[in-house]
Structure 1
Amino acid sequence: MNNDRLKGGEFLVKDLTWEDIFTHEDFSEEQRMMLESAKEFIDREVWPKKHQIEKKDYALIEDLMRKLGELGFLGISVPEEYGGLGMGFVTTMLVCDYISGATGSLATAYGAHTGIGTMPITLYGNEEQKKKYLPKLATGEWFASYALTEPEAGSDANSGKTKAVLSEDGKHYILTGQKMWITNAGFADLFIVFARIEDDKNITAFIIEKEQAGEGFSLGEEEDKLGIVSSSTRQVFLNEVKVPVENLLGERNGGFKIAMNALNVGRIKLGAACLDAQRRILSNAINYAQERKQFGVSINTFGAIQEKLAEMGAATFASEAGAYRAAKNIEDAIAENIANGMPHNEAELKGIEEYAIEASILKVWISDTAQVASDKGIQIYGGMGYSKEMPMESAWRDARISRIYEGTNEINSLLSVSMLVKRAFQGRVDLMSPAMGVANELMSIPSFDTPDYSELFAQEKEIISNLKKVFFMVAGAAIQKFGMELEKHQQLILKASSILIEIYMAESAILRAERIAKTNSENVADISIKFAKLQLFESVETIKRSATTGIVSFTEGDEQRMMLSGLRRFTRYNEYPNVVQLKSEIAEFLIKENKYSF
């Protein structure tokens, strides 16, 4: 790995090489053992019980969580001194990945407990709180829940109405309010609850032990949901619940910061939680297309089916590439912070915050592609895909929630651009220089020299570089025109975000494929190259649409004509790939393997 660590958001302003990223293929022996252990548990304990899980069997999910605790999977990221395994961020990502693929119900319970339930105490708890709670949470003796959302406080998390009043004797805070959509509420022993003390500007976080909460703490009935049907989801009612003052988590007025940082972790891990779902959806679709016969042949011989398989394969390859690229960036940032003398919890907070832009990108793209994969899976199954007897129906329903929680995909899309612009104003990422360079390039005469594409991915890397120019062209012009008023133009920001997201994912796929080509067998390298080339082509087409919509929405006349001309220049291939052939060859590989085999 390159020692010149790429900072968060800098992927947009720097050209990278395959040596600059970490990929799925770089897992250590220990990490591969963890992967196989997680996968073996899911294949043995969860996949055979999918029909039972789809019948609102909350007790089964609780039982599976206890088994995960006994195996150590609930304490992957908890430091060893508090009863956990203390493993690095990449390992926590891969375990989340492979634990989550069989059913969204277990994935949601696991993610809520290990992420937004346990992590706030790990990162913000004082020593007494960590010693008291983390060993129980790491082993599954206790389960955690996270209570932030309220009827009138969803995306605007800091607008919660739950109140906290200090008792006359100063020993307790008295909490009153209502929380909704609270995951694990039905079996949790501990709740991270957010409330506002008096008229504070920001909310504050509290730890509530259910057994000590008294009669004022009550739960609503289980929600009747579209998907994740066996994930316990209830309302939480607080009626003058007494919470010891020592259970204030972090500092007064610090709850909003805790909530946002918990969501940063949750976003990238939600991306990881959608990865194995994509693999399983694709592998099941491949199997079914082989078995299903129409007109005397397997439907996997039909081009319309092969196209879907190929697109699902390329998207899965890119999803893995982006997720583990960012995970290692975060792990390296944490290590660097520790080496510079930061306490572990602060080092982790800073490392995760550094890559908040990438976390939002991954949350949006991977959850979107998981939903698309499940939809294509149903289509491949045809009428049988609509049946509850088949795995695609539940996969589609479970995938839908991933685009909503941890911040909707629209919120995260807006955040990815706003955080990037904010960092530019802070001087943390230089966006102005490349934006000015692109503006000057638009006024220049393009080169008509014949490029040399003899090196692997030479053309593709040139296209990636040009796609970054598209972002600077559109976003730069929009910032120049609207300034601080840009945040009011959400539709335009969403188009800029679409460009940003596609750049990161396409670049991740290209760099992963190049890394594989440099370090693996020719057969593996060949299919990786095809995956990456197909994903880049799809990303270019998406960027064309988003950029065109953005440009024509706020420009006119000569400026508009110049920018549209620049868009054509920056998204042009000198040598277009044969996309139909690419998809056919990818599909043939997947059909031969009879699964997604990376």
Structure 2
Amino acid sequence: MAENSLNPVPFSEPPYLRGLPNPYITPAHLRFQKACRKFAWENLIQHAMEWEKAGTVPEHVFHTFCKANMLLPNMPAPLPVDWLKRLGIHDILGVKVEDWDYTYTGIYCDELARSGLSGPGGSLNAGFAFGIPPIVKFGSKDLQERFLPDLLTGKKRACIAITEPEAGSDVAGLTTTAVKSADGKHYIINGTKKWITNGIWSDYATMAVRTGGKGAAGLSVLVVPLKNHPGVSMRRLKVSGQITGGTTYIELDDVKVPVSNIIGKEGDGMRIIMTNFNHERLVIAVGVTRSARVALSAAFSYCLKREAFGKPLMDQPVVRHRLAKAGAELETMWAWVEQILYQLSHMSKEDGDRQLGGLTALAKAKSAMVLNECAQVAVLLFGGNGFTQTGQGELVEAILRDVPGARIPGGSEDVLLDLSVRQLVKIYQAQEKKLAQSSKI
């Protein structure tokens, strides 16, 4: 589908792009969406399947996006305006950096995932979405001065490195250690990181390490050099989906890092990581919902033209029933995502983290469930074509392989379901305490 064409197939576009009234989208948002779609189509989307099959997005694509400031939208809103202006960056496709809000972020993430494949976009954005934000939010002035100019302009690449072979969603259980040298000037890091998106191309990792005792209180976050740094070895991992994402295994053997590379202070690790997760989970939810949209609309289109038993598949009640159930899940999910994006645009970061953190975790988990439903329906309705990595069903077959990459990273599904309710219980208890206190006055 060319960049400027409107897909008439049901479920192919969010309602605001089908001309329906929307309380969140302004004319400025619409102008950005058109420009963003054109840029993404020309530089990524039209080649996405080709590059996914090849296994790697060409390096020049990252630099093209950076030159146009088109990886900055992956960062949390509001953007780091002072830093961007210092670097001569004043707008993103015509949107002033100071005007950027989470609705723009949602539009961008939706367009970046328009191919339906999460790997190509994921090959570009992990550093800006997850690796750089902790430095911006929690890094010292010295740390920011040393790293942000190159990272924000794409001269250097970063990733986030938390997960380990024995510690994924259980962040508090990670075992990679950072012990101070005898002279107190360096941390010596030993351990492994696994399933690190973009790691293989990254100059630096924003890395969770253990500087103290057991549990969450012993965690810290460091900026750790990767490429060609003594003691660091990296290799790509073969994964079933998101082939182009650069999933990486990192080994750290007496890796020497200046103590000044710490983000925040020792023991701040869990707070930094959890704050970062809220943004990560939200942008994942947006992209995943677009992938679900691509899969379901492809199935809808196929069922309109494919004949079986003497009539189009769409004439079969069971087919319409499957499409309807998946479509209801999809549009409900998008409405929820839009709502969260709008709410974050009108709340402080602190209020958003506190009030929406649990719901964002729930939304991320639910979006992956919706993707699973839509992808499963699409593959079933495509039949044999949906089981084949070439031909009419190759896209839905690839999207189905991407599903685990939606259900596991950023906090696996069952962990996030539990986390969301625990967060909501905390909010309830805090509100109940306030009500009890006010009733005594």
Q: CA, structure 1 residues 136+92, in 2 after alignment: closer, same or farther (shift >3 Å)?
A: farther
Residues 41-52 of structure 1: pairs in structure 2 closer than 5 A? 41-52=39-50
CA RMSD of aligned residues (A): 2.4
CA change 1:35–1:236 in 2 (3 A) is: same
Q: In the alignment, is the contact (CA less than 8 A) between 2:123 and 2:244 conserved in 1? A: no
Conserved 8 A contact 2:333-2:367: yes
- How far off its partner does 1:35 sit? 2.1
Partner of 1:98: 111
The reply on whether 1:207 has 2:207 as its aligned counterpart is no
Match of 2:291 in 1: 277
Q: Aligned partner of 1:415: which letter?
A: L
- Whole-angstrom distance in 2 between the partners of 1:398 and 1:66: 25
Q: Once the two structures are aligned, what percentage of the paired residues are identical?
A: 24
Question: Which residue in 2 is equivalent to 1:115?
Answer: 129
Measured in 2, the distance between the counterparts of 1:184 and 1:349 equals 29
Which structure shows the bigger proportion of residues in helix conformation? Answer: 1
What's 1:363 paired with?
A: 364
- How many residue pairs get aligned? The number is 394
Q: Cα offset for 1:157?
A: 0.6
**What's the CA shift for 1:298?**
2.7
For each residue in 1:366-395, what CA deviation from the matched residue of structure 2 results, as whole angstroms up to 9, or x when unmatched? 111011101111112111111112211001
Is the 1:82–1:130 contact (alpha carbons within 8 Å) kept by the matching residues of 2?
no
How far apart, CA to CA, are the structure 2 residues paired with 1:304 and 1:222?
43
Query: Which residue matches 2:5?
Result: none
Conservation of the 8 A alpha-carbon contact between 2:299 and 2:381: yes
Residue number in structure 1 paired with 2:404: 400
- Who is 1:64 aligned against? 61
Higher strand share: 2
Give the residue type in structure 1 aligned to 2:25: F
SS at match of 1:112: helix
Change (3 A) 1:349 1:130: farther
Is 1:422 aligned to 2:426, yes or no?
A: yes
**For residue 52 of structure 1, what is the amino acid of its counterpart?**
E
Native 8 Å contact 1:101 1:275 kept in 2: no
Pair 1:290 & 2:287 matched: no
Contact 1:101 1:107 in 2 (8 A): no
In structure 2, what is the equivalent of residue 146 of structure 1? 160
TM-score by length of 1: 0.62
Please tell me whether the aligned partners of residues 167 and 174 of structure 2 are also in contact (alpha carbons under 8 angstroms).
yes
2:181 aligns with one of 167, 178, 186: 167
User: In 2, Cα distance between the equivalents of 1:356 and 1:135?
Assistant: 30
- The question of whether the paired residues in 2 share the 8 Å contact of 1:423 and 1:429 is answered with no
Tell me if the contact between 2:205 and 2:226 (Cα under 8 Å) persists in the aligned partners.
Answer: yes
Q: 2: distance between equivalents of 1:26 and 1:214?
A: 46
Render the CA deviation track for 1:71-109: whole Å, top value 9, x for unaligned.
Answer: 222112432322263522222222122212321112333
* Aligned residue among 237, 241, 245 for 1:227: 241
Q: Secondary structure in 1 aligned to 2:218?
A: coil
Structure 1 distance, partners of 2:312, 2:44, is 30
Q: Which amino acid aligns with 1:134?
A: L
Deviations 1:129-152 (A, max 9, x none): 334333433333222211111122
SS in 2 for 1:27: coil
| Contact 2:57/2:123 (<8 A) preserved | no
Specify the SS of the correspondent of 2:179.
strand
AA of the residue aligned to 2:53:
K
State the distance in 2 between where 1:355 and 1:199 align. 30
TM-score, with structure 2 as normaliser: 0.83
Describe how 1:173-192 pairs up with structure 2 within 5 A.
173-192=187-206
Letter in 2 for 1:26: Y
Secondary structure at the residue paired with 1:55?
A: helix
Task: State the distance in 2 between where 1:158 and 1:35 align.
Answer: 39
2:131–2:160 CA contact under 8 A, matched in 1: yes
Q: Does the 8 Å contact 2:156/2:203 carry over to 1?
A: yes
2:218 is aligned with what amino acid? N
Question: What SS is found at the alignment partner of 1:373?
Answer: helix
Distance in 2 of aligned mates of 1:372 and 1:290: 20
- Structure 2 equivalent of residue 28 of structure 1: 26
Counterparts of 2:157 and 2:290, CA distance in 1: 24
| Separation of aligned partners in 2, 1:119 and 1:57 | 28
Query: Which of 34, 38, 41 lines up with 1:40 in the alignment?
Result: 38
Letter in 2 for 1:98: E
Distance 1:67 1:429, change over 3 A: farther
Mapped to 2, the partners of 1:350 and 1:205 lie a distance apart of: 23
The structural deviation recorded for 1:195 is 1.3
Aligned equivalents of 1:289 and 1:271: distance in 2?
27
Q: Is residue 107–residue 273 contact of structure 1 (8 Å, CA) maintained in 2?
A: no
Q: Give the whole-Å Cα distance in 1 for the aligned partners of 2:433 and 2:274.
A: 21
Pick from 236, 256, 268 the counterpart of residue 270 of structure 2.
Answer: 256
Q: Give 1:172 deviation, angstroms.
A: 1.6
2:189 counterpart SS class: strand
> In 2 relative to 1, CA 428–189 (structure 1 residues): closer, same or farther, beyond 3 Å?
farther
Against the structure 1 CA distance between its residues 160 and 288, is the aligned structure 2 distance closer, same or farther, given a 3 Å change threshold?
same
C-alpha distance in 2 between matches for 1:230 and 1:56:
8
Residues of 1 paired with 2:197 and 2:188: CA distance? 23
Task: Please tell me whether the aligned partners of residues 115 and 262 of structure 1 are also in contact (alpha carbons under 8 angstroms).
Answer: no
1:408 partner letter: S
> Which ranges in structure 2 are unaligned for 5 or more consecutive residues?
1-20, 90-96, 437-441
| Structure 1 residues 150 and 215: CA distance shift in structure 2, 3 A | same
Higher radius of gyration, 1 or 2: 1
2:18 aligns with none
Tell me, in whole angstroms, the C-alpha distance in 1 between the residues paired with 2:36 and 2:24: 18
Q: Is the 8 A contact 2:179 2:187 kept in 1?
A: yes
Which aligned pairs between 1:267-416 and structure 2 lie closer than 5 A? 267-334=281-348, 348-389=349-390, 390-416=394-420
Q: Is the contact made by 1:74 and 1:139 (CA closer than 8 Å) also made in structure 2?
A: no
Give the deviation of 1:252 after TM superposition: 0.9
Q: Distance in 1 between matches of 2:143 and 2:123?
A: 22
Residue in structure 1 matched with residue 3 of structure 2 by the alignment? none
Partner secondary structure for residue 347 of structure 2: helix
Report if aligned partners of 1:261, 1:349 keep a CA contact under 8 Å in 2: no
1:217–1:318 Cα change, 3 Å: same
Q: Which secondary structure does the structure 2 equivalent of 1:114 belong to? A: helix
Partner residue in 1 for 2:53:
55
Specify whether residues 308 and 70 from structure 1 end up closer, same or farther in structure 2 by C-alpha distance, changes over 3 A only: farther
Amino acid at match of 1:202: G
